[in-house]
Amino acid sequence: MGKLDGKITIVTGATSGIGRRTVELFVAEGARVVATGRRAELGRSLEEALGKDRCVFVQADATQEDDVKKVLDTCLSKWGRLDCLFNNAGGPAPVGGIETVPVDGFDAAMATLVRSVMLGMKHAAPIMMKQGSGSIINNGSVAARRAGYSTSMIYSAAKAAVVHLTVCVSMQLGEKGVRVNSISPGGIATGIFAKALGLPADKADGYAEAVKASMAKNQPIPRAGLTDDIAHAAVFLASDDSTFINGHDLVVDGGLVGGRLWTPHQEGVKAMRQAFGVDEV
């Protein structure tokens, strides 16, 4: 018996990375999924791999309201309800100092990262409120909590908006039996880092493996984060195991934002002792 048996779900940004892995795990746990994204070839390959009885791909741009409506309509016409929406679609944002940010780049990033989440919630909410149940999951980031955890300050600001919007909406929808939470990943080995540095999406995904080694020492848990780590968190929030969790930002980062790393800190203390001529305790 799967944790999501009988659940009808939607996952945006499902053609690669966290979204694709989440779709795969949702199906493995018994869910039926409408997977969305802009890259049709990758979406169709996911649909074929999982079977059209379990996964239906809808090519859609999560920043466009008509496309979002199309996704919800497809879900309802095929399966008649909606139990979970994972607003996962995202992308990079302009890098550099505030004095260099292009207005069109700022607007595009806010649309991709924030407007898409708002639109998903806007059109899922009436369905779930009518049902009296449902789980909305929004993809946040540790960059929403701390400055300097993204290559882009605009990305950080956008993700902070997502996390707070999640809490605001949870206070409304919770009264109707609908839960709204976010997941804030730490350093997850996907193509988003290469995309942020300017590589096109079709090439960036191939660099996911390459970043693992460089990310392994960023947090107390000595490995890079994996798409599985976020997908399993999404399964938990989509399942009935989390029915009393609402308005929460679930940080999945191996301890990255917990504070200073223990060993480097102790090495610094040791160096100071030596500089002051103080014996080890």
Residue in 16, 159, 170, 184 annotated catalytic: 159
Residue 141 annotated to the active site: yes
- pTM for the model stands at 0.92
Residue in 16, 116, 135, 141 annotated catalytic: 141
Helix (H, G, I), strand (E, B), or coil: what is residue 52?
coil
Rounded Cα–Cα distance for residues 273 and 281 (Å): 10
Give pLDDT, residue 205.
56
Structure tokens of 263?
Answer: 């060993």
Give pLDDT, residue 204.
53
pLDDT per position as a tens digit, 56-102: 999 999 999 999 999 999 999 999 999 999 999 999 999 999 999 99
Residue in 155, 182, 195, 239 annotated catalytic: 155
Instruction: Give the DSSP H or E segment for 84.
Output: strand 84-87
Q: Of 38, 35, 31, 42, nearest to 19 (Cα)?
A: 35
Residue 155 annotated to the active site: yes
Q: Which residues contact 55 (CB under 8 A, 6 or more apart)?
A: 23, 27, 32, 33, 34, 35, 46, 47
pLDDT lower than 70: segments of the chain: 191-208, 210, 280-281
Count CA atoms closer than 13 A to 36's CA, side-chain side. 27
Give pLDDT, residue 97.
97
**CATH classification code of 8-276:** 3.40.50.720
Give pLDDT, residue 215.
84
Q: Calculate the average pLDDT of the chain.
A: 93
Burial per residue of 43-58, b for 16 or more beta-carbon CB atoms within 10 angstroms, e otherwise? beebbeebeeeebbbb
